[in-house]
Amino acid sequence: MPMPETISKGPILKRLEEKLSPSYSRRDEFLTDLKTKKKSLVQILVDHGVVKYPDEEAHLRKDWFDFNGTGKGRWWKTAQPVEPIVRQGLIKAIEVAKDLPVDAYWLCGGHSFEMQVAWSKQQVTLLIFSPHLANHDDPENPEFTDKESIWVVKRVQKDAPHKTNRLLKTDIRLVNEVATKTGGEKGIEETSIVARQPKTRPLDA
């Protein structure tokens, strides 16, 4: 999965949405696999096409769920193991969704690891919250090339320079002109989110 500083989706969550939604013909089987715990969560995600590539599988095992067979990932050491949390969150999303589509996002930078499921008449929203990873820079992960359908707008310091985010490799610009025209405050930052995706892989893979 991508390593966001705020909010992201990325190719794995895009595929996960399809498997959690009612249009997936094997969704009942997916739910049964999650509940019975006969297989690891990563294996279930592979079996159902959520994880399609060896580098994705290796990343989830090593960083999220099962580094060197420990049952714990390298990331978020104080929150591990996180597999039971993710598994139960996916179960709840399917149970709540029924005939509704699922929209999933990962938000990084909180104080704990948790899954939240919210719903309306239009859709179910699945949110993965994880603690921030300080000074994270993993050269093994692919480049950020997958443009997300997400904009983040927030207030920044008065003299904050224009910059490019080191992790997300996104252009960050101050939108003072927009704020002035709309009668809002100056010093608003507008960020376009970009997720990791190998350059040789199609953006919708």
Residue pLDDT, tens place only, 169-182? 333 343 333 333 44
Residue 189 confidence (pLDDT):
52
One domain, residues 40 and 113: yes
One domain, residues 57 and 124: yes
One domain, residues 99 and 187: no
Residue 205 lies in a domain: no
Count up the domains in the chain and report the number: 2
C-alpha separations of 145 from 49, 70, 75, 142, 193 in Å: 22, 32, 23, 9, 10
For the ranges 71-75, 77-81, 90-94, 105-109, the one whose mean pLDDT is highest: 90-94
* pLDDT band of 202, cuts 50, 70, 90: very low
Domain boundary among 131, 166, 185: 131
Mean pLDDT, range 94-117, rounded to an integer: 90
One domain, residues 44 and 17: yes
One domain, residues 167 and 190: yes
Residue pLDDT, tens place only, 10-42? 889 999 999 999 999 999 999 999 999 889 999
One domain, residues 169 and 89: no
One domain, residues 114 and 29: yes
Mean pLDDT, range 180-191, rounded to an integer: 47
One domain, residues 67 and 113: yes
Residue 136 lies in a domain: no
Report the relative pairing of strands 102-110 and 124-131 from DSSP bridges. parallel
One domain, residues 98 and 49: yes
One domain, residues 101 and 158: no
Contact 142, 91 (CB under 8 A): no
Is the pLDDT assigned to residue 198 strictly greater than 60?
A: no
Is the pLDDT assigned to residue 100 strictly greater than 60?
A: yes
One domain, residues 162 and 118: no
- As given in the structure block, the two tokens for residue 202 are 């199609």
Which one has a higher pLDDT value, 30 or 139?
30
Residue 98 lies in a domain: yes
Residue 18 lies in a domain: yes
Residue 14 confidence (pLDDT):
92
Residue 203 lies in a domain: no
Q: Is the pTM of this model over 0.75?
A: no
Residue 8 confidence (pLDDT):
81
* pLDDT band of 110, cuts 50, 70, 90: confident
Rounded Cα–Cα distance for residues 102 and 161 (Å):
38
The percent of residues above 70 in pLDDT, for the chain, comes to 62
Mean pLDDT, range 190-195, rounded to an integer: 48
One domain, residues 81 and 157: no
Mean pLDDT, range 182-195, rounded to an integer: 48
Which one has a higher pLDDT value, 140 or 203?
140
Structural domain for 165, as ranges:
144-196
